[in-house]
Copies of this chain bind each other. A is one copy, B any other.
Amino acid sequence: MPRPSQEEKLLAAALACFAEVGYDATRIRSIAERAGMSEGALYRHYPSKEAIAQSLYSYHLRNFSERLLEVAASSGTAEVQLREIVAATLRSYRENPAAFTFVLLRQSTLMPSLPHGTVYPLDVIERMVAAWQQGGTIRRGQPNLLAAIVLGCVLRPIIVSQLAQPGALDLLHDRQHDLVISDAAWAALRAHAASSTET
């Protein structure tokens, strides 16, 4: 069994390589060198670069889900919890931009092969949305759709912040945007006066 510290060193090294030269251009050898181990030692942990990427993805996705589970376990109105989801997402991004971006942008290839029983961030938010809807302060709609909208309000700006020209939108350092995102996400979900009178 790999020692956890070796494992984490390896994942951090892989992440650094992917962030620097891109996933496709990264060689197993560079990951091993960066982690301070031989190629042979690396292969005792992982059979391939794909397996490392998969593990990296799964590790950071789980971290993000755990933070959202903490929000779900907290007490608070729908608005408080929803704003806390936005804050937790921005916090996760800022604490480790390379990891967060890796998960966000590699999901098309890596997400479909995650182990059965994986808790996805979307699932955690979906359950919160369903609970909020009982309270009547949230618009009607399929809970996973509304959860996707909440995530979209914060993840798309993060993607733009990562991929746009430098300085075009800097969510990493510029916190003046946080309230705009939080306000917009809450407005997107809350039931409006017009719709609440319909019921």
Q: Contact flags (1/0) for A171-188 with B, using CB distance below 8 Å?
A: 000000100110111011
Chain B residues positioned under 8 Å from A155 (CB to CB): 152, 156
Q: Is A145 an interface residue (CB 8 A)?
A: yes
Q: Is A189 an interface residue (CB 8 A)?
A: yes
When the two chains form the complex, which single residue of B23, B107, B142, B153 contacts A152, counting CB atoms closer than 8 Å?
Answer: B153
Interface centre among A159, A160, A184 (most CB of B within 10 A): A184
Chain B residues positioned under 8 Å from A184 (CB to CB): 139, 141, 146, 149, 188-189
Q: Is A168 an interface residue (CB 8 A)?
A: yes
In the complex, what distance in Å separates the CA atom of A122 from the CA atom of B168?
12
Chain B residues positioned under 8 Å from A157 (CB to CB): 145, 148-149, 152
Query: Do the beta carbons of B105 and A107 come within 8 Å of each other?
Result: yes
Interface centre among A149, A159, A168, A187 (most CB of B within 10 A): A149
Query: Do the beta carbons of B105 and A181 come within 8 Å of each other?
Result: no
Query: Do the beta carbons of A169 and B152 come within 8 Å of each other?
Result: no
Chain B residues positioned under 8 Å from A185 (CB to CB): 149, 188
Chain B residues positioned under 8 Å from A134 (CB to CB): none
Q: Which residues of A contact B (CB under 8 A)?
A: 22-24, 101, 105-109, 111-112, 122, 139-142, 144-146, 148-149, 151-157, 159-160, 163-164, 168-169, 177, 180-181, 183-185, 187-190, 192
Among all A-B residue pairs, the 3 with the closest Cβ atoms: A152-B156, A152-B152, A105-B108
Given contacts A141-B180, A187-B192, 9 further A-B contacts (CB under 8 A): A106-B108, A142-B177, A144-B164, A148-B156, A148-B159, A148-B169, A149-B180, A151-B152, A184-B189
